[in-house]
């Protein structure tokens, strides 16, 4: 049985809590939070852009802490799940690693490369795992796409286009602060930057155009170049100012003998989807049916991967701290390209 201590009971802490309830062989043994209401189990004020709203939670038998340093010293805890603001991820990772705890940190790993490198270093030195919560590869549509690519039956991966756009998240007061949340690239586009790194490897160069708000990029289109000049990869991501479409994401992935396509958009009045499609070399359009469309399923699968990695001692190839670090480098390169108008080498 893996025993978990969750640091930070906000929206992501709530989503992780719900996911843990669905996974055998793991239990939440402790939480750490400075809000007194939430320490008493009143999570009714938690809201997000998917999943159920917060509820009254029974914390009987669960240790509660106001100080992270105290929680990581709890001998009953095997894994520290960090759901704190990105600006304090490194401090929390260092505290957990010093205490010899395995570490699962919600994305992004940190706000800059230096902190990412330090996080990986301290966990390696302490001999503990560092797993980073890049959940997108576990969402059912993206998990299906990874499986189709890995099967090899469609030939080589030739490229793809990745989309992730939201309306201005006015409920996140620090969203555009580069020192607290990091802005749309670090908080939002990081999902697709990580996926691109996972599927294609590290790009050689990136060229981006975009719009800015203050010192951060608010929206950009990016083009990635790889060792193979036939591999064509692009992305669009960021914020629009119209609240009528709070969220959209999707992909078109090209292989030698197939194209994989999916897009979902949530509008103020309804949600619209272009369901999964597999376009074959023979001209067929195949529309796979996925068994589970629960938005929590991705987090259940992701945390299942965390637990399996810890129990087996085998590092996750998807949630590795090194890949999370590379995703930050990609986002920083895109930001630099927007700001300078130059092609940036990685």
Q: Give CB contacts under 8 A, 24+ apart, made by 71-75.
A: 71/5, 71/7, 71/30, 71/31, 71/32, 72/5, 72/96, 72/98, 72/99, 72/101, 73/99, 74/5, 74/29, 74/30
Residue 77, Cα to own-chain centre: how many angstroms?
24
User: What is the pTM assigned to this prediction?
Assistant: 0.95
Residue environment code for 188-200, b if the CB has 16+ CB neighbours within 10 A, otherwise e: bbbbbbbbbbbbb
Phi then psi dihedrals of residue 229, to 5 deg? -65, -10
CA triple 320-324-326, angle to 5 deg: 115
Domains located in the chain, CATH noted: 2-133 (3.40.50.720), 137-299+327-345 (3.30.360.10)
> Could you read off the pLDDT tens digit of each residue along the chain, which spans 346 residues?
899 999 999 999 999 999 999 999 899 999 999 999 999 999 998 877 677 888 899 999 999 999 999 999 999 999 999 999 999 999 999 999 999 999 999 999 999 999 999 999 999 999 999 999 999 999 999 999 999 999 999 999 999 999 999 999 988 889 999 999 999 999 999 999 999 999 999 999 999 999 999 999 999 999 999 999 999 999 999 999 999 999 999 999 999 999 999 999 999 998 898 999 999 999 999 999 987 667 789 999 999 999 999 999 999 999 999 999 999 999 999 999 999 999 999 9
* Cα–Cα distance measured from residue 203 to residue 225, given in angstroms and rounded to the nearest whole number: 6
Q: Is the CA virtual torsion 1, 132, 95, 63 positive or negative? A: negative
At 202, list the tokens: 């590290």
At 240, list the tokens: 């629009």
Residues constituting the chain:
346
């Amino acid at each position: 049985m893996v025993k978990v201590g969750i640091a930070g009971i906000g929206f992501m802490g709530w989503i992780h809590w719900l996911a843990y309830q669905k996974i055998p062989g793991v239990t939440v043994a402790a939480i750490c939070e400075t809000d007194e209401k939430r320490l008493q189990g009143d999570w009714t004020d938690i809201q997000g852009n998917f999943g159920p709203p917060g509820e009254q939670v029974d914390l009987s038998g669960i240790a509660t802490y106001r100080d992270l340093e105290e929680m990581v010293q709890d001998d009953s805890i095997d894994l520290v799940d960090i759901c704190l603001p990105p600006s304090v991820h490194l401090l929390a990772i260092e505290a957990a690693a010093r205490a010899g705890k395995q570490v699962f940190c919600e994305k992004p790993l940190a706000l800059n490369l230096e902190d990412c490198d330090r996080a990986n270093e301290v966990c390696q030195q302490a001999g503990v795992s560092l797993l980073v919560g890049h959940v997108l590869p576990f969402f059912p549509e993206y998990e299906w796409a990874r499986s189709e690519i890995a099967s090899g039956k469609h030939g080589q991966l030739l490229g793809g286009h990745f989309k992730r756009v939201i309306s201005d998240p006015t409920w996140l007061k620090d969203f555009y602060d580069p020192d607290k949340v990091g802005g749309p690239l670090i908080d939002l586009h990081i999902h697709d930057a990580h996926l691109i790194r996972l599927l294609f490897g590290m790009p050689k160069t990136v060229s981006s155009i975009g719009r800015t708000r203050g010192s951060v990029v608010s929206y950009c289109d990016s083009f990635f170049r790889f060792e193979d000049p036939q591999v064509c990869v692009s992305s669009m991501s960021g914020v629009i100012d119209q609240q009528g479409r709070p969220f959209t994401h999707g992909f078109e992935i090209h292989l030698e003998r197939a194209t994989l396509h999916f897009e979902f958009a949530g509008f103020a009045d309804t949600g619209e989807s272009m369901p999964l499609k597999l376009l074959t070399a023979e001209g067929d359009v195949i529309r796979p049916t996925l068994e589970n469309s629960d938005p929590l399923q991705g987090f259940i699968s992701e945390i299942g991967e965390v637990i399996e990695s810890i129990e087996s001692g085998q590092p996750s190839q998807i949630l590795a701290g090194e890949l999370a670090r590379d995703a930050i480098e990609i986002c920083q390169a895109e930001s630099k390209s927007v700001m300078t108008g130059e092609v940036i080498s990685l």
